[in-house]
Structures are given as structure tokens and as C-alpha cells.
Structure 1
Amino acid sequence: MNLPLTGERICMTPLTETDLPEALQIYHSNPAYNELRNGSAAFSLNQLEEEYRSLSMLPGSYWLAITLRDDERMIGIGHLRLEQAESQKGWISLLLLAANFQRSGFGREVVKLVEEFVRCQSKTQIHVGVVADHISALLFWGKLGYEQYRQVIAPVGRLTRPVLLLAKHL
């Protein structure tokens, strides 16, 4: 993956294990998200390390640190997965911004950069799964042109939940 991906206000670089304590603060600023995926507002460094290692083992897996361009402060994290070369799909499996950076256009900027990157990898679709009762996330992705194509019951963090699968043709 050619990183960094740089936008007007943000930069995305690989998220490393040494970044995880800082990334944990982003989870802590989103207790409702933690509740949706783990049944508890609390989220520990051990849980994040476990998730990081588990997703890192998947082929075509990329963890992203989302930082401000001007001061390199981490404001979010993400995870992207590009499927096999013959597949036309990319997946955004995580996009989480610090609570005080939400609803300010940063998420839209991240998605635009990721979509362009996925397009440059000869992928024609990008997918995302959203917990069915996470209304603000569904509205966010819908405004960006993502459309539901299926509902599944799937593991989400430490829970099993109804998940809406959304896709956008690039």
C-alpha cells in the first residue's frame, strides 16, 4: 500500500503496534461505539492489541492512523482490506474518529481518499458493514452513496449482531 494518503486536512499512514496506546484514546472517546460492539463502554489496550493482531493476519489487510496534516496528531484509525487480485472488492472494516473530530468533514475526507486508493488498485466496488442499529453510521455512509445489499448476523467485536452490508460502485 502506498502510504501516506494525503488530503486537504489529513494524512493516513500505517498504524503500528507502538501506536496502539494513542489509538486506544480514540476508542475511549466513543463509548457508545464500544457499547455497540462489545456490550460495554470500556475497551482495553489488551482488547485492541488482540483485534490489531487478528485483523493484521488477514491477506490484504491495512491498519491506518489518521492524523492532522498540520500537527500529526492522531484523530482517528481505520482498517482497510483489499481482497484477492481477481476480486473487484475493497472493504473498509473500521473507520473511527475521535468524538471531537466527528461531524466536521474529516470522515468524508478519509472515505474519499480511501475510495481513490481502492480505485487505483483496480477495484470497482468498496464495501462496509454497519451494525444495524447504528443509525448515525448508516446515515453517514448513505450520504456518501453507499447502498445496502444484504443483512447478515455477524461477529462485531465481542458480540454477534445484525449487520447491514453496504457497497458503492467506484
Structure 2
Amino acid sequence: MQETVEEKTVNLAIRTGKLSMRCLVGAVRGFINHKRRKQMMGPKRYRGKQTVKQLLSQDQGATSMVIGDEGIREFQRIAKRYGVDFAITKDKFADPPVYTAFFKAKDMDALEAVMDEFEKTRAFKKDRPSVIRQLGIYKEKAKEQIIKAKVKVKEMIR
């Protein structure tokens, strides 16, 4: 068991017309540089929309908020604008679908700004009258105001 842990093998595939020592050394150098770059970069950092697992693996506290079905796109736009990482999950057991947004950011000011702006846009949309309803009201008013066209009588002048 100890020997298998200590031994590491690497498969390196090279495409060449003629295998020379220079070609082999270049391939090994390329592999070593690739490993170094990978170690320097560290684990991949996800930004913006992501899964809950990716979000919670970032070692920061996550905040959650319940979002209605109609507010998902608006929340995504606002969160991207402020650079907040977020994940959206759907509650499968609720009859009208309920979506929960988990989000986090490095500073709490960005989180508060996202929550405030989302609530303002949601309140504005509730208070805003429906365009279709207003159009129906204006159609009714237009029907009441229709005046029949005057009948023009042509007279011949002699």
C-alpha cells in the first residue's frame, strides 16, 4: 500500500513526426509548467449565478430570501449589477412554486443594497396599474365619445 501511494505515474501523449530528445524534453517541460499554473491558481472561483453547493463551498456565510415566481429575473439582474454571488432553488412541494435565493458577497453593504432595491422594484410593480386594464378603460371611454359623422350634402350651384 505504501508503495502505491509513493509511486505516481503520468501518461503523456505527444504527436510528432520523429521522436527526438528535444521533443520529449519540451513535452515534459510543458507538463510541469501546466501543473505549476494549476497549483498557483488554486480552486476555481465561481461568480454570479451558481449552485448552492458551489456557493456554500466559498467559506462565507450565505443569506437566504424567498422570491416569488415573477421576481426571479429581476433579482438576477440586480444581483449581477452589484457583483453578488447567488443560487436559486425551487421548493418542489409547494403548489404555487416558491423560489428561495441564497446569496453572499464580501461586504454586507452590497447585500443590503440588493435586498433594498429588489423590495423597491417589487413594491413599484405591485402599485403600478396594468397596461391592459388601462387600455380597456380607454376603449370604453372612446366608445362613449364616438360622434356620428355629419352627413355632407352636396348642392349643385347653378
- TM-score scaled by length of structure 2: 0.28
Q: Which of the pair is proportionally richer in strand? A: 1
RCO greater where, 1 or 2, for CA within 8 Å and sep 6 or more? 1
Task: State the structure with more CA Rg.
Answer: 2
